[in-house]
Chain A
């Protein structure tokens, strides 16, 4: 039982490049989330998915897209990376809302 896994762990991009962050959970949770963590700002919700087939915007969705591929997987895509997207990205899942969210190990992204 791996919990929530994320790939990659680290990534460096140049401005304008695109990439997809992958997230998977093996706890059969309905809800999944993407956050970004920036110093002094805590975690901010980018997008979430209450259930398979649905996605909704969070606090800071601009510049991102998501796909809930199936119940297990929830990916985050940066179409044209900007330096302002340099951050640590966390994926999380929960059985329902509200409930305890279980977090992945994070992806540290640097955009040059």
Chain B
């Protein structure tokens, strides 16, 4: 069965610190990978996605993620976080044989202290 694991459940950083949120998945076939963000009081929105091509994907607000196929990983990074990045972050995968099902990780809550 497909699964997504986000290692960090709660991360606290100071402004300007660098961020890396881990995401590992379990699936043997072709995958499409997503990071979504949920800001306080708002609905989920897409940060970035990977379908094919360059494994280093850039998204909105300075976020990027790298797909490492050999490690089944799609970690999210940002060189310098801001207070406004405080949110919950979800990694998700769509497997090629998984008709219609986007599988989400448990989520990571990021708190950025000003």
Contacts and interface: CB of A to CB of B under 8 A. Distances in A.
Interface in B55-114: 90, 92, 94, 99-107
B45 interface: yes
Contact of A98 (B42, B94, B106): B94
B9 interface: yes
Contacts of A58: 100-101
Contacts of B18: none
Contacts of A33: 100, 102
Contacts, number: 56
Contact of B102 (A41, A45, A56): A45
A43 interface: yes
Given A42-B90, A97-B100, A103 B106 contact: no
A100 B44 contact: no
A11 B9 CA distance: 28
B9 A56 contact: no
B32 interface: yes
A100 B51 CA distance: 11
What class of interface size applies to chain A in its complex with B?
20 to 34
A110 interface: no
A48 B4 CA distance: 20
Interface of A: 4, 31, 33, 35, 40-45, 48, 50, 56, 58-59, 90, 92, 97-98, 100-101, 103-106
Given A42-B104, A58-B100, A97-B100, 18 more contacts: A4-B43, A35-B104, A40-B107, A42-B6, A43-B44, A44-B104, A45-B101, A45-B103, A50-B99, A56-B100, A90-B43, A97-B94, A98-B51, A98-B94, A101-B102, A103-B36, A105-B42, A106-B43
